[in-house]
Structure 1
Amino acid sequence: MGQTIIEKIISNHSSKKARAGDIAIVDVDLVMATDTTGPLTIKAFENMGGKKVWDSDKMILVIDHASPAPNEGIAVLHDLMREFANEQGIKLYDVGDGICHQLIMDNHHVKPGQLVLGADSHTCTYGAVGAFATGVGSTDLAGVMLTGKTWIKVPETIKINLTGKLQKGVTAKDLILHLVGRFGIQGATYQAIEFTGEVIEKMSLDSRMVIANMVIEMGAKAGLVDLKGLELPYKYDPVKADPDAHYVKTIEIDVSQLETQIAVPHSPDNIKGISEIEDITIQQAFIGSCTNGRLEDLHAAADILEGKKIHPNVRLIIAPASRKVFQDALSDGTVEVLSAAGATFLPAGCGPCVGTHQGIPGNNENIASSTNRNFQGRMGNRNSNIYLGSPAFVASAALKGKITNPKRRLSI
């Protein structure tokens, strides 16, 4: 019997041919920690007696979740990371550089077929380039910093074949929200998902990152996106599943009739078609996060808002996923379009997504957001309501002051 992609990647990083259910000791290609997890990881490393990381070239630290520091306590933690990076010779991305997952991809720190661990749940984003990437706890990551190895239980794999053509205004975000709603937040727990089909083949890297990013919202260990149709600025050998690989489940989905999808409060799997919830009034709109803060996303918002003004009762906040994204959007005029429409730009980083600072909503406010989670209190106030969707959805809501189908705005 052949192997799935994840079985092959794990086999390539261990001393035996791996099968679903096996326990494998693997060599790790890269580890990453942010300012939410990095300080804990560093302390755990030191408590384990660590003096020197196994390979300073294979570790990345990023200050992105509370960036710039909103208070003295967090500023001290940032300094701890900077000092550790300097002592160990580790690459650190500092305030304003951007979100960890975008920076890892922008700077080609991860490549197809690699095995990457990050102390952040959305590390699975790197599956967009065919890597096995997954989130782990701070203590687990500290162990890898010492040894360069970890143990993994090889996941079973679900294969999803996507056919048809997405309607105008319907995006990769709508597709993955539909799948999260179909599976539920625990429907793919500790399983890998292979995405393939003609829909994937036509997607940009930005869109593929959206798909891989949100597999964690259905409990998956990893999402591996077919590289067919994707051009990367370096040579690579894609890891492909064998024709006789075993899948725990194979699902065929025709996306042609899919409408804009919205996750309504208070769970990412509480999915409604936009036709079911139009006209709900919003007070804040946010475009950003490791899911939808890329150049393609800012372009989608600009397509809606060019030459227009957002609703006077709405605050539109944008946090680009990286400094490069912001600079590219500045160069091509996108920033000017969005700013003229009334958007407020924050430093590149996670921004309001995690609710630690910047953009915390008021009581009983409704937020249209392009992020990945809408749990109660996620953006910093338990008494607010978060509606998740694509950047086009967010821009349309900001323009009209209420939930509006972006397809209508794009048809004008």
Structure 2
Amino acid sequence: MGRTIAEKILSEHCQREVRAGEIVVCDLDFLMAQDGTAPLAISSFEKMGVQRVFDPQKMALVIDHNSPSPLESVSNLHALMRNFAADQGVFLYDVGEGICHQLVPERGHITCGDLVIGADSHTCTYGALNLFSTGVGSTDLAAAMMTGKLWFKVPESIRIILRGKLPPGVYAKDLILHLIGKFTADGATYRAVEFSGQLVADLSMEARFTIANMVVEMGAKAGIFEADERALQWVTERCPRTPRVIAPDPDAYYLQTMELDVTQLSPQVAKPHQVDRVVAVDEVAGVRIDQAVLGTCTNGRLEDLEVAAAILKGRKVYPEVRFIVVPASRYVLLEAISKGIIEILIKAGAVLVAPGCGPCVGTHAGIPSDGENVISTANRNFRGRMGNSKANIYLASPATVAASALAGKIADPREYLER
């Protein structure tokens, strides 16, 4: 019997053929930690009595969750990270550089066929590049920093075949929200989800990152796209290493195979306080909105800002809505400035904050008040996720968020795009 993409990548990295269910120890291609997890990883690493990271060219630290620092205690943790990076020679992305899950692929650290871990649950984002990436705990990361290896249980795989074309006003975020609603929050727990089908060729790389980013919200260990020319061009323009394209065997075993035709899909919204409480936008249209957030590691890329700007151009955000825009990286911000996107957003009434994660994780830069409703392009809407357990978070695409910011209530973006 053939092997899935996950089985093949893990086999390559432990130098023997393995199958789902086996426990393996694998060599790693890249490691990452952000400022919410790196301090504990550094502390654990030092307690192990090790002097040097296994390979400084294979590790990055990113200051993005509290960036710039809102507190003295956080500033001291940032200083710890800066000192460690300087001493060890690992890559450091400091305040304002952007979100870890944008920077790791954007700066060319990874390529097709890699095995990557990060001390952040949305490390699965990188699977858009036909690689296996997953989030781990800080102590596991510390062990990997020492050895360059980590243990894995080879996951069973689910195959999702995407067909048709996304209708106007419907985007990758709507597609992944729809899938999460179908699978539920734990329907793919510890599975690798493979994406293939005719629709994939139509999806931009930004769209693929959005989908891979959120597979963890259905419990998945990894989300992996099959590679095509678009993916290869994207990665070879950034990473100097030769990509190793990994395709599943025709007779690979899948725990489940789902075929989804997206032709009739409508804009989707996840209701508070669970990501899998997904409904069509018309079921929640009219709900009052106090704050709208465009950004995060899910939807803060250039394409996302462009979609919102197309809706907001020449219009004004509803007077009682705070519209917060967070580009995913410094590069994205500069590109958006050069294309006039930022000007459109600011003229519409947006508040621009530094590239980072602040509003999404509720550390700063947009914590809502008690009872307020927020619509966000983020990946999670758990109670308290944005820093206030008494606020309500709705998740949607950049288009739906922009339309809702204009209307002052949850709105169908197709109405604005038609105009």
TM-score bracket for the superposition, by shorter chain length: over 0.9
Per-residue Cα deviation, 1:220-266 (whole angstroms, up to 9, x for no partner)? 00000122252325153310001111111111111111110100000
Give 1:295's aligned residue.
302
Decide whether the 8 Å contact of 2:123 with 2:134 is kept in 1. Answer: yes
Per-residue Cα deviation, 1:294-352 (whole angstroms, up to 9, x for no partner)? 00000010010001110001000011000000000000000000000000100011120
**1: CA distance between counterparts of 2:400 and 2:340?**
21
How far apart are 1:185 and its partner, in Å?
0.7
Please show how residues 151-230 of structure 1 align to structure 2 within 5 Å.
151-230=151-230
**2: CA distance between counterparts of 1:393 and 1:275?**
11
Give 2:291's aligned residue.
284
The more displaced of 330-339 and 232-241 is 232-241
1:382 aligns with 2:365: no
1:323 aligns with 2:325: no
Per-residue Cα deviation, 1:82-124 (whole angstroms, up to 9, x for no partner)? 0000000111000000000100111111100000000000000
How far apart are 1:36 and its partner, in Å?
0.1
1:340 aligns with 2:342: no
Q: 1:252 aligns with which of 253, 259, 276?
A: 259
1:113 aligns with 2:113: yes
1:44 aligns with 2:44: yes
Match of 2:343, SS state, is helix
Per-residue Cα deviation, 1:336-375 (whole angstroms, up to 9, x for no partner)? 0000000010001112000011100011110010000000
**2: CA distance between counterparts of 1:83 and 1:56?**
14
Decide whether the 8 Å contact of 2:111 with 2:235 is kept in 1. Answer: no
**2: CA distance between counterparts of 1:104 and 1:146?**
20
Question: What amino acid is aligned across from residue 141 of structure 2 in structure 1?
Answer: L
Give 2:239's aligned residue.
none
Decide whether the 8 Å contact of 1:202 with 1:229 is kept in 2. Answer: no
Decide whether the 8 Å contact of 1:99 with 1:349 is kept in 2. Answer: yes
Decide whether the 8 Å contact of 2:169 with 2:414 is kept in 1. Answer: yes
Question: What amino acid is aligned across from residue 377 of structure 2 in structure 1?
Answer: S
Identity of aligned residues (%): 55
Question: What amino acid is aligned across from residue 341 of structure 2 in structure 1?
Answer: T
Give 2:234's aligned residue.
232
Question: What amino acid is aligned across from residue 281 of structure 2 in structure 1?
Answer: I
Match of 1:157, SS state, is strand
Give 2:371's aligned residue.
364
**1: CA distance between counterparts of 2:215 and 2:164?**
21
Match of 1:232, SS state, is helix
Decide whether the 8 Å contact of 1:201 with 1:226 is kept in 2. Answer: no
Give 1:144's aligned residue.
144
**2: CA distance between counterparts of 1:201 and 1:47?**
47
CA RMSD of aligned residues (A): 0.8
Task: Name stretches of at least 5 consecutive residues in structure 2 with no aligned partner.
Answer: 237-241
Q: 1:242 aligns with which of 249, 266, 270?
A: 249
Match of 1:162, SS state, is strand
Match of 1:13, SS state, is helix
Q: Return structure 1 stretches of 4+ with deviation > 2 angstroms.
A: none
**2: CA distance between counterparts of 1:126 and 1:408?**
33
How far apart are 1:165 and its partner, in Å?
1.2
**2: CA distance between counterparts of 1:228 and 1:27?**
25
**1: CA distance between counterparts of 2:37 and 2:10?**
25
Cα gap change, 1:284 to 1:93, in 2 (>3 Å): same
Cα gap change, 1:404 to 1:184, in 2 (>3 Å): same
How far apart are 1:127 and its partner, in Å?
0.1
Per-residue Cα deviation, 1:157-196 (whole angstroms, up to 9, x for no partner)? 0000011111111000000000111111110000000001
Question: What amino acid is aligned across from residue 412 of structure 2 in structure 1?
Answer: N
Task: Name stretches of at least 5 consecutive residues in structure 1 with no aligned partner.
Answer: none
Match of 2:14, SS state, is coil
TM-score, length basis structure 2 = 0.97
Give 1:83's aligned residue.
83
1:404 aligns with 2:411: yes
Cα gap change, 1:233 to 1:25, in 2 (>3 Å): closer
1:268 aligns with 2:275: yes
Per-residue Cα deviation, 1:4-48 (whole angstroms, up to 9, x for no partner)? 001000011013101000111100010000000000000000111
Q: 2:313 aligns with which of 306, 309, 314?
A: 306
Question: What amino acid is aligned across from residue 363 of structure 1 in structure 2?
Answer: D
Decide whether the 8 Å contact of 2:226 with 2:246 is kept in 1. Answer: no
Q: How many residues align?
A: 412
Decide whether the 8 Å contact of 2:129 with 2:235 is kept in 1. Answer: no
**2: CA distance between counterparts of 1:59 and 1:305?**
39
Question: What amino acid is aligned across from residue 362 of structure 1 in structure 2?
Answer: S
Decide whether the 8 Å contact of 1:288 with 1:351 is kept in 2. Answer: no
